[in-house]
Structure 1
Amino acid sequence: MNNATSHRQILYGLTADIHFLNLLNQPQLSGKVEQVFNKAINVSIDNHLFTLLSTQLDNAPNSCRLLNNDFSLLNIKNEDNFYLLNNEICIGEHYSLSFSLCKLWQQPVINFIYEKINQRNYQSFLLKQINRLDLILSEARSSLFNYQGDNLFYVASTEKLNQLRSNLISLLKAKQRHGLANVISQFVGLGIGLTPSGDDYLVGLMAFLLLEKHPARAFYPEFHQGIMQSNERTTPISAITLEKALNHEYRENMHQLIQSLVDANETNIYSQFLDILNIGSSSGSDMLFGIRDALYLTHYFGESYVN
């Protein structure tokens, strides 16, 4: 190690996805730290966002999990430089990121099992999970879908979200393409925070509904159109999350839940619902509303879809 890196504290990456590891192939890599949280650090590189995650969090697209539990103990600040030097990434003046222990995290490929959609056992499984989610979400007071306070902005957002939700479900049940992209586009950016409620709802909905071999996969063009024509209305982090969702790229715990829902495996499914619920302050509950509606629509298609 030369003098430029010898004074730096080494941070060790544990797992990273291919997008993050590809940064090592960019000799002119240059970025800036955008946000520092206790469990995550967001970095902007060429108008793309990458994330350093605490070891306590699950893997995610464009991310690297570090051998650190709490980033508040580190001297990393907004606007710190993020650049490549001697096959290590330097962060500000005090740290370098080593990949000597790092392993590749590969996102699984999950396909819906179309043959199960009309089977009585799978229909019963879907109903059970819908009822379970309804119970969980009835207590999710942090979600704008459930807001019951007196803040006029929140009240208006809640009314808009639930009206859009009703319209979207009706269009999908009727297999009506006309107007579908427009309804989807209105979700984008609706709400508050780093990932607004409307965006999180779409992420949860698409995670199951747009699986390969799912009957609703046919509506992918409308989802893509609605999101891409409106992604400038939301936050940079949320826009990237939506784009990743269109490419079936999700957090590790979302993949685990979706696989359990496809397989009708109830062994860990309640704890997997809670893992999603606990994402962020309200993002997880908003995603679960989307997953709940995806299961409802799948059950509906199973009853009425013609092979």
Structure 2
Amino acid sequence: MPPIATPIAVRAITWDPSLEETLAHAADAQPSSVLARTRPGVTPSMPVDAGVRVHSVHRRAVNLRVGDELVALVSAALDDAPATVRVPVEDWTALQVRQGDPASIGPDGFRIETVQGPIAVLTSSATAWAPAEICLCALSDGQLLRAEATIAATPAPVQQSAFGSAAAALLTERVAALEEALRRRDPSAITAAAAGLLGLGEGLTPSGDDVLTGLAFVSAQRGTRLHGALASLAAALDDEEERTTLLSVATVRHALKARAQHGLHELIQAVRDGDDERIRDAALHVAGIGHTSGTDILSGVRLALRTEAALRSASAPVPATSSSGIIPKEQA
């Protein structure tokens, strides 16, 4: 009789409650617990969710591909984030999780089939991560520029790789083109310039994508003139998503809905409150994301803040409509 694999079970600490829909759909097709699929005397069956696989493995994170989406199972040392579950696992590679491993979803969590046996991540007792809604409607152009200058003083990471350095000049040129298009409020030019940034640079989330993440996240906050550019930014992603990685596509799409890693929410809350010390602390935290991703995201945040300031100082006001994201005074 072949040996029966005993599942390793870990209980999630926090999670994005938007994943409840993912688990609810799974409950119809896979009603059993992710712990209850190994029966005595039989070899563990393969998951019913044949489309769910391990997309990528890192020491502190495992990304599961669920259809066209990604779900991240990350170490407790990392931030809460969209489509993310934080678990008490310090090193996923030590558990022999590999890219391509089959996985499944149940009403109580996720399960990965590894060479050493199944790993179950239980979500039922996890605390929901729910970042506060942010409205930037009360800020003046001067306050926005002051926040941008404070973030600009954040120390840069270690020196870029040769490839990253080679792409830096092109990145600067294309960011400048996007800024000009945003200031002119030219939808087609915004889409073209944003598309030029997709996939530019190295890594699972290239530098150009990280800049777009920071820009999209700020633009999507309530009360911004840049809210009107969201459709054009989304069009670039829809038209050219094959230029970049699935992780980047997922990250930018979340940012377009004002959702990002928790550190970014804290940064924009500090900007809203005009708290320079909190801005510095939050910016330093964001800068620590990845190798250069955090610094590139901050570049996108700075782009958004100075462009928003320019739009607010323009003579023609933006109407307070649902599409613009501006909140009428009586609702502010």
Contact 1:20 1:64 in 2 (8 A): no
Structure-to-structure mapping, 1:210-221, within 5 angstroms: 210-221=220-231
CA–CA distance in structure 2, aligned partners of residues 283 and 23 of structure 1? 28
Between Structure 1 and Structure 2, the one with more helix by share is: 1
DSSP-derived class of the 1:254 partner: helix
71-80 or 219-228, larger mean C-alpha shift? 71-80
Confirm or deny that 1:48 pairs with 2:69: yes
- Once the two structures are TM-superposed, the CA of residue 109 in structure 1 deviates from its matched residue by 2.4
Q: Distance in 2 between matches of 1:75 and 1:257?
A: 36
1:59 Cα offset (Å): 0.7
Paired residue for 1:146?
none
More displaced stretch, 257-266 vs 273-282: 257-266
1:263-282 matches, within 5 Å, as 263-282=273-292
Contact 1:117 1:298 in 2 (8 A): no
Displacement of 1:267: 4.2
- The alignment's C-alpha RMSD in Å is 2.4
In 2, Cα distance between equivalents of 1:132 and 1:286:
16
**Residues 236-258 of structure 1: CA distance to partner in whole angstroms, max 9, x if unpaired?**
11111111111222111111111
Residue among 96, 102, 112 paired with 2:120? 96
Q: How far did residue 40 of structure 1 move?
A: 0.5
Q: Against the structure 1 CA distance between its residues 69 and 126, is the aligned structure 2 distance closer, same or farther, given a 3 Å change threshold?
A: same
- Opposite residue 63 of structure 1, the aligned amino acid is T
Separation in structure 2 between the aligned mates of residue 173 and residue 56 of structure 1, nearest angstrom: 38
Q: Is the CA contact 1:127–1:299 (under 8 Å) kept in the aligned structure 2?
A: yes
Residue 95 of structure 1 aligns to a residue in which SS? strand
What's 2:98 paired with? 77
Rate the CA distance shift 1:100–1:213 in 2: closer, same or farther, 3 A: closer
Q: Which residue in the other structure is 1:108 paired with? A: 132
**2:260 alignment partner in structure 1:** 250
Query: Contact 2:49 / 2:105 at 8 angstroms: preserved in 1?
Result: yes
When normalised by structure 1's length, the TM-score is: 0.85
SS state at 1:179 partner: helix
Q: Which consecutive unaligned segments of at least 5 residues does structure 1 have? A: 144-148
Counterparts of 1:21 and 1:224 in 2: how far apart (Å)? 25
* Alpha-carbon shift at residue 269 of structure 1 (Å): 1.6
Residue-by-residue CA offset, 1:277-297 (whole Å, 9 max, x unaligned) = 000011101001111111211
Question: Identity of paired residues, percent?
Answer: 23
CA shift digits 1:37-60 (9 cap, x unpaired): 111111112232111010111111
Whether the 8 Å CA contact 1:187–1:199 is kept in 2: the answer is yes
Give the TM-score taking structure 2 as reference length.
Answer: 0.79
Distance in 1 separating the partners of 2:124 and 2:305: 42
Kept in 2, the 8 Å contact 1:14–1:66? The answer is yes
Paired residue for 1:10?
Answer: 9
Count of residue pairs brought into register by the alignment: 290
